[in-house]
Structure 1
Amino acid sequence: MSAEEHKAQGNKYFAAKDFDKAIEEFTKAIEASPEPNHVLYSNRSGSHASLKDFSKALEDAQKCVEINSSWAKGYNRVGAAHYGLGNYDDAKAAYSKALELDPGNAMAQSGLSSIESAESSQYSQPDMGLGKIFLDPQLISKLKANPKTAELMNDPDLVAKLLQIQSNPQAGMSMMFSEPRLMTIMAALMGIDLNMADPEASASKEPADKSEPNVTPESKSKSEPKSEPKPTSEVSEDVEDVEMEDSSKVQAEELKAKANALYKQRKFDEAIEQYNKAWELHKDITFLNNRAAAEFEKGDYDAAIATCETAIEEGRSIRADYKLIAKSFARLGNSYLKKDDLESAAKYFDKSLTEHRTPEVLSKLRTTQKDIKTREALLYIDPEKAEQARLEGKEFFTNADWPNAVKAYTEMIKRAPEDARGYSNRAAALAKLMSFPDAVEDCNKAIEKDPTFIRAYIRKANAQLAMKEYSQVLDTLTNAREKDNELNSGKNSLEIDQLYNKALSQRFLAIEGETPEQTMERVSRDPEIVSILQDPVMQGILAQARENPAALQDHMRNPNISKKINTLIAAGVIRTR
């Protein structure tokens, strides 16, 4: 793995507060880096500080400023480590240097304020005599230099207890009697030789896991310095300082709430400014997504696109929630949609769905894809090329080249989708290829485009007849006859009647090997025949016809009655001879 990859893993573990693993990864990153990298030492220093191992934190912090002496945050790291060790003067010097490089550095300001507060606490609390012993700001440094206490100072928890006694000597009295090593330290400071045991042996009495001392939750929380400096987070290349994480996040959330209120008031420029400040305080791409929303509503789609791209890039680097990245992609899609770039919009809606699937984005993707097809179809329309395709199709049809005729008529339909002739002509070619259901579908489209196109009705009836859908044939031809009489004065009536009679006769033809009696019995069970014979009106007409056959001619003027009578004639129920 490369240094950058180890660094990314370290950031991930740091965010999860797994500082031991973070240190491992930053160490690997330092080893893999082709040249010394001050950020990596800063990150590892922050991790050591989070574990209260201020000695190692100081080593890394000093290495950081050695590599880059102009980086203010390096001195913040040095200051935090010195503060943790109780070296207030050194901490002040480091924070002052950070402010010299960056006068507005909030971390350095906070650090100096914390030191001031801690020192003030030392002098303001009643000490019952302990203050005189523990008051010295250089206490920790002197104890490290004392051979009798040097080894004890390697225990960060013991150092933390000393710092608490410094800030509140009165509260430290109870701790003094429960911690033998503190008595040893006090004796050493007072110059008393208690013949203390070997420091390592004394330390071994402590719990094996020094990171979790054997104290109650309450005493554990008290053992930590109350005024520890709270560093602020830097740019995204560095891990966040755990001490400042919560406060900076709270401030960022407050800024976001203010920005949201401005957004609702449609004060988009002011809202964008607040979202920017929130992002600078805390790296949460929600702030960038919200800024993009404000830019979108403002109508600055290019800015919204740029912000979303930044959100995605930053989100990947800090392992942001995939749902937040999905929102960034979706907002990119919406922005491109406003710019009328349908292909890009569809692309980013699709990317959003790969991160997190939501019904809203899925619907937008489908709608956009449909619009793309519609636009492509509209751009393809060309009446001249449609006519050229029609003539090519006619030539193929004449030469009995049905497949190429279908292709040519399909091209005609694409070039002129509103021309009913293309569908009707393709139906004729499909019928030749025995693809009757497709032929019927094309005829329906032709009739939809032009309800007066009689040829489409006739072609549809022929396809239905080939599928032996006799009842549907009769309905289609009845509609054709009505339109033809209305528009063409019955110009196509002969062809319609011939086809109609053909359908009737074929419907009730005897099956091979069937006797006339069997044919009649089968016909009498036909649902349509049964329905007609059970119709009271038809029963009256048939009774009248038995006495006066000529009366049927009068009833044939009614199209509905005519159809039923012709059906009965075709079935042999009514005999005309």
Structure 2
Amino acid sequence: MSDANTLKDLGNKAFQAKDYDKAIQLFSQAITLDPSNHVLYSNRSAAKAGKKLYSDALEDADKYQPYLGKGLREEGCCTSLACGDILRPSPHTPMVLKYEDSPALRKGLQEVQDAQAKDDRVADSGLAKMFQDPNLVSKLAANPRTQKHLTDPAFVQKLNMMQQYPKLAETALCSDPRMIDVLGVAMGIDMQGFSREEGSDELPPGFQHQPPPPSRFGSNPPQSSSPPRSSSSTSKPAPEPAPEPPAEDVEMTEEEQEEAKAKAEALELKTKGSASYKERRFDEAAKCFSKAWDLWPKDVTFLTNLAAVYFEQGDYDKCIESCEKAVEEGRSLRADFKLLAKALGRIGSAYSQKGDLPSAVKYFQKSLSEHRDAAILAKLQSTERAIAEAERKAYIDPAKSAIAREEGNTAFKNGDFVGAVKLYAESIKRDPSDARGYNNRAAAYMKLMALPEALKDAEEAIKVDPSFVKAYIRKANILHSMREYTKALEALQAAENADTASAHTSEIHAQELKIQQALFAQRAGETEEQTLERAMRDPEVAKIMSDPVMQQILQQAQGNPAALQDHMKSPIIREKIMKLVNAGIIKTR
């Protein structure tokens, strides 16, 4: 018997590989060893049908019928249909696998049906073509006479079978009077006069009676492989088809029923919890979400919602605990990665609220590795900036800043300008509010001829301390080196305004004289048109010259130079006039 099973398994593999000859040989050897095993006949029948040997397949289908118990003979009807006897459809096809759920039988029947459908799915007549209308079902549903037929699952199944196998149309008209109504809808005419009552043996006028072939399923199985089929119009009326088995609902096990009930209750609690959360009744919401998880621990949103409640309550430790459990359970349940990312992101937010910024960054990064969310990315960047700012503030120490600045001064005097830059930079980090560090580093940059960096440091020193006169003078020296003489004069004018104690007057005047000389040298031999053209390349000068008020003042000054002094009493006008003087547009004696 074990050898027969081995041969059957080998035959199944050959069948799956579509090696039907080898499959038939192996199933035949197995039948020799175990002739009472009806599955072997079924498998060999399927293999023969795979080779399109439908008559031989029917013979095997008939042979294994005697081995089936009472009530299982309908299986032969399904096999007969699958093997090509499509003129006699069986209503019991759906019941076959209920009684014999053999993988080989299931596979074999499907293969046979596919093979036959490939050959025979062609309508031979105009009558069959009417049933191929893709909108037929919708037309039947819209017709009051036929819409009631669609409530019968067996009728719908038979209609689907006719659409798949057009040859069934002629036989179905004889066996089921409801098909007359279907034909009328398909043709667009009223077939009421041609219809007959269900159960009547009288055919509608114009249709020839075609009785079905004799049954193969009597008490003695037939011996011939091709039983005769009667085509005489004088034979007895066709008997009513066997009643269709009622559609059976899939019964749930007791365990499945309990799980379904628990799931429904859990989802209802989730809805209640969400409503309570929106109304800020957090204690009630927490109870609902917690109970929902206890009832049906297969939806991690119960835990993430519970974590959201704890977050709003300020209980960040419980929030983290709930989210960590959601991630752990979610991985085992293969939950959506977006849910896992959401839980990890909420952990990061909880750590951020606790002030543990490094842990917050860690979990924000984990969240983004699961799913890249713009909101989480913004939180990560904000937290990283906060960490950097905290580290910067923690590094501030004015005493150590002074030490680093003095060391920088020593390096500067010794000609080590690169070392001086590094030490001044350390001084700035230790105390960014001390303008001396920026000003000293600007001097070191000048020695290294890094004039743009030097100018930036001088301007930063002025920004930190607007009254720092030395920073203005340093800026003027840098601009002089950059041949920006007009801007250098403006820097000196700002230095003079900031030097309220006149402590740097001589230094400012000396630098101003030096710059004026450079300007005269630059403008020597320049015509008025060339001077104006050069000055107008400065955007600030161009803006002043296009100002209607300034244009009126300049016109007035041409006729009355003393009037210009009166206008310069206004600080804003004075600044603009000095800008034009420095640019060479207004000449002074």
Partner of 1:97: none
Residue 303 to residue 556, structure 1, CA distance change in 2 (3 Å): closer
CA RMSD of aligned residues (A): 4.5
Amino acid at match of 2:275: A
Cα-to-partner distance string for 1:111-162 (whole Å, 9 max, x where unaligned): xxxxxxxxxxxxxxxxxxxxxxxxxxxxxxxxxxx98435987x9x98xxxx
Give the fraction of aligned pairs with identical amino acids, expressed as a percent.
39
Partner of 1:288: 303
Partner of 1:536: 552
Q: Is the counterpart of residue 360 in structure 1 residue 375 in structure 2?
A: yes
Partner of 2:531: 523
Following the alignment from structure 2 to structure 1, what is the Cα–Cα distance between the partners of residues 411 and 329? Answer: 61
Partner of 1:327: 342
1:411: how far off?
0.9
- The worse-fitting range, judged by mean Cα deviation, of 452-461 and 561-570 is 561-570
Task: Pick the aligned partner of 2:489 from 451, 459, 474.
Answer: 474
Amino acid at match of 2:285: A
Following the alignment from structure 2 to structure 1, what is the Cα–Cα distance between the partners of residues 306 and 332? Answer: 19
Partner of 2:416: 401
Partner of 2:439: 424
Cα-to-partner distance string for 1:269-304 (whole Å, 9 max, x where unaligned): 443333233224141211111111122223221221
1:394: how far off?
0.8
Match runs of 1:57-206 below 5 Å:
148-149=67-68, 178-179=91-92
Following the alignment from structure 2 to structure 1, what is the Cα–Cα distance between the partners of residues 416 and 510? Answer: 28
1:562: how far off?
8.5
Partner of 2:252: 228
Cα-to-partner distance string for 1:216-239 (whole Å, 9 max, x where unaligned): 67799964444332534xxxxxxx
Residue 277 to residue 418, structure 1, CA distance change in 2 (3 Å): same
Tell me if structure 2 keeps the 8 A contact 1:335–1:345: yes
Task: Provide the secondary structure at the position in 2 that maps to 1:535.
Answer: helix
Partner of 2:387: 372
Residue 255 to residue 424, structure 1, CA distance change in 2 (3 Å): same
Following the alignment from structure 1 to structure 2, what is the Cα–Cα distance between the partners of residues 521 and 288? Answer: 80
Partner of 2:316: 301
Q: Which runs of 5+ in 2 are unaligned?
A: 1-64, 76-88, 118-152, 159-243
1:570: how far off?
7.9
Partner of 2:353: 338
Residue 398 to residue 292, structure 1, CA distance change in 2 (3 Å): same
Amino acid at match of 1:231: E
Task: Pick the aligned partner of 1:260 from 244, 269, 274.
Answer: 274
Following the alignment from structure 1 to structure 2, what is the Cα–Cα distance between the partners of residues 474 and 454? Answer: 14
Partner of 2:473: 458
Partner of 1:494: 506
| Max Rg structure | 2
Cα-to-partner distance string for 1:21-55 (whole Å, 9 max, x where unaligned): xxxxxxxxxxxxxxxxxxxxxxxxxxxxxxxxxxx
Residue 318 to residue 468, structure 1, CA distance change in 2 (3 Å): farther
Following the alignment from structure 1 to structure 2, what is the Cα–Cα distance between the partners of residues 342 and 200? Answer: 59
Following the alignment from structure 1 to structure 2, what is the Cα–Cα distance between the partners of residues 479 and 310? Answer: 65
Higher helix share: 1
Partner of 2:292: 278
TM score, norm. by length of structure 1: 0.55
Residue 443 to residue 152, structure 1, CA distance change in 2 (3 Å): farther
Tell me if structure 1 keeps the 8 A contact 2:458–2:471: yes
Partner of 2:175: none
Tell me if structure 1 keeps the 8 A contact 2:303–2:322: yes
1:345: how far off?
0.6
Partner of 1:30: none
Task: Provide the secondary structure at the position in 2 that maps to 1:496.
Answer: helix
1:369: how far off?
1.0
Tell me if structure 2 keeps the 8 A contact 1:386–1:416: yes
Residue 208 to residue 248, structure 1, CA distance change in 2 (3 Å): farther
Amino acid at match of 1:427: A
Residue 565 to residue 382, structure 1, CA distance change in 2 (3 Å): closer
1:451: how far off?
1.4
Tell me if structure 1 keeps the 8 A contact 2:269–2:288: yes
Partner of 2:518: 506
Residue 402 to residue 209, structure 1, CA distance change in 2 (3 Å): farther
Count of aligned pairs: 377
Q: Is the counterpart of residue 413 in structure 1 residue 428 in structure 2?
A: yes
1:307: how far off?
1.6
1:364: how far off?
1.4
1:360: how far off?
2.1
Following the alignment from structure 1 to structure 2, what is the Cα–Cα distance between the partners of residues 224 and 278? Answer: 33
Amino acid at match of 1:371: A
Task: Provide the secondary structure at the position in 1 that maps to 2:499.
Answer: helix
Cα-to-partner distance string for 1:46-92 (whole Å, 9 max, x where unaligned): xxxxxxxxxxxxxxxxxxxxxxxxxxxxxxxxxxxxxxxxxxxxxxx
TM score, norm. by length of structure 2: 0.54
Following the alignment from structure 1 to structure 2, what is the Cα–Cα distance between the partners of residues 426 and 370? Answer: 26
Cα-to-partner distance string for 1:138-195 (whole Å, 9 max, x where unaligned): xxxxxxxx98435987x9x98xxxxxxxxxxxxxxxxx98338989x99xxxxxxxxx
Cα-to-partner distance string for 1:291-323 (whole Å, 9 max, x where unaligned): 111222232212211221121222222222121
Tell me if structure 2 keeps the 8 A contact 1:248–1:282: no
Amino acid at match of 2:253: P
Residue 180 to residue 345, structure 1, CA distance change in 2 (3 Å): closer
Amino acid at match of 2:92: E
Q: Which runs of 5+ in 1 are unaligned?
A: 1-145, 159-175, 187-198, 233-242
Task: Pick the aligned partner of 1:250 from 264, 284, 305.
Answer: 264
Task: Pick the aligned partner of 2:406 from 372, 387, 391.
Answer: 391
Tell me if structure 2 keeps the 8 A contact 1:555–1:562: no
Higher RCO (CA 8 Å, separation ≥ 6 residues) = 1
Following the alignment from structure 1 to structure 2, what is the Cα–Cα distance between the partners of residues 203 and 257? Answer: 44
Following the alignment from structure 2 to structure 1, what is the Cα–Cα distance between the partners of residues 70 and 452? Answer: 94
Residue 535 to residue 255, structure 1, CA distance change in 2 (3 Å): same
1:395: how far off?
0.7
Residue 492 to residue 247, structure 1, CA distance change in 2 (3 Å): same
Partner of 1:191: none
Tell me if structure 1 keeps the 8 A contact 2:92–2:245: no
Tell me if structure 1 keeps the 8 A contact 2:486–2:583: no
Residue 557 to residue 268, structure 1, CA distance change in 2 (3 Å): closer
